[in-house]
Structure 1
Amino acid sequence: MTVRIENHLCYFTLDDNGQEQSLPATRVTILTDNDKAMSCVDLAGKRIYITEAEADKLTVEGATDSRNHVKAAAPGSVI
């Protein structure tokens, strides 16, 4: 899991060493990486990819949901 939430404060794991950055949920904006068809958050100059479940939890805590729906362009795509 790349994000944990405690008392409306969101902790994002930035690297494999476990370095974290925290922000109040109200200062987090959830985006969509259209090329990867994944939700993400931009933090400290890095794009942190999160699951849809994590994105939903963040929105419940007050994060801004700026995701868009990605549609498949090729027949038979899983998205």
Structure 2
Amino acid sequence: MPIEIDETNQRCTLISDDLHIQGAASDVTVVTDEQLRMSVAELAGERIPITEAEADALTVAGAVDGRRHLKTTEPGSVI
């Protein structure tokens, strides 16, 4: 799992193979990456791909939810 959330202090850790970055959940932004076709968590300029369940958990903990739905009917959609 690429995220850990400490519910006692609303801090989270984003984890990848070569990165462990910690911060307040409110400093995390969850966005949709059109090329990856999935959500990513952004913190301190770093981006980590995450599952939708992890995205939901982050937003419940206080992260900013900047996701948007990708639709095949939108002009220029990658899907």
Please classify the TM superposition score into its range, dividing by the shorter chain length: 0.7 to 0.9
Whether the aligned pair in 1 keeps the contact of 2:14 and 2:20 (CA below 8 Å) is: yes
TM-score after normalising by structure 2? 0.78
Gap regions ≥5 residues in structure 2: 74-78
Q: Matched residue pairs, number?
A: 72
**Distance change in 2, residues 1:43/1:26 (3 Å):** closer
Q: Residue 40 of structure 1 aligns with which residue?
A: 40
Correspondence for 2:14 among 1, 12, 20? 12
Give 1:44 shift: 4.7
**Which 4+ runs in 1 deviate beyond 4 A?**
none
TM-score after normalising by structure 1? 0.78
Give 1:55 shift: 0.3
Gap regions ≥5 residues in structure 1: 74-78
